[in-house]
Amino acid sequence: MERRSTNPLGYTHFQYDLTAHVGSSHGVRLSGGSTGGIVEAVGDDTTVSLRLRGQGTGGVFLGASTSPITGYVIVTSTTVVAADASTEVRAILSTMTAAGVTTNAVVAASERTSDTSLFLLTAVCSSADEITLSWLKPHKLASTESTRSVRIAAFQ
């Protein structure tokens, strides 16, 4: 690859992959090929995580976007009143604190239970630092659980 620089200081070119932090058990590799550039976590372990973050309060930008994408993952247990068999439709609301999440963030929720077929779950962030969870019971089956565990990912 030949890429000409308009910067008077020029570019630094490497013929092959570039691995940073080789003196540690975990690092990062910059490589490329016919499919494009690759940023990959590398290490002594068989599984190594990769974290992208801006400096200080700086965000992470993807593509040509000018809005940073920030993610939060929160795991919580939320108490739900067990719905009896005589109630056909019942909405159960619960709120949870999620520090740093802003109003109208995009929220994804996933239940961590074996009883998932009994309820439909939605999650919204209608005010700062708070997520509202809503379960809808659209049938007459009784729930056997009084506590439900939910994994939340909020992006803003």
CA distances (Å), origin 120, targets 18, 90, 93, 117, 138: 47, 11, 12, 8, 8
Residue bearing tokens 């909405």: 91
Given pLDDT bands bounded at 50, 70 and 90, which one contains residue 1? very low
8-17, 55-64, 81-90, 143-152: segment of lowest average pLDDT: 81-90
Per the prediction, the chain carries an average pLDDT of 75
Given pLDDT bands bounded at 50, 70 and 90, which one contains residue 41? very high
pLDDT at 114: 63
CA distances (Å), origin 11, targets 5, 35, 60, 139, 152: 6, 22, 23, 64, 42
11-20, 85-94, 119-128, 135-144: segment of lowest average pLDDT: 85-94
Residue bearing tokens 């109003």: 103
Residues in the chain: 156
pLDDT at residue 81 tops 60: no
Q: Residue 29's beta-bridge partner residues?
A: 19, 40
Looking at residues 48-53, what average pLDDT do you find?
86
**Alpha-carbon distance 66 to 59, whole Å?**
10
Looking at residues 4-12, what average pLDDT do you find?
69
Looking at residues 27-53, what average pLDDT do you find?
87
Q: Where are the beta strands (DSSP E) in 6-79?
A: 18-20, 26-33, 36-43, 71-79
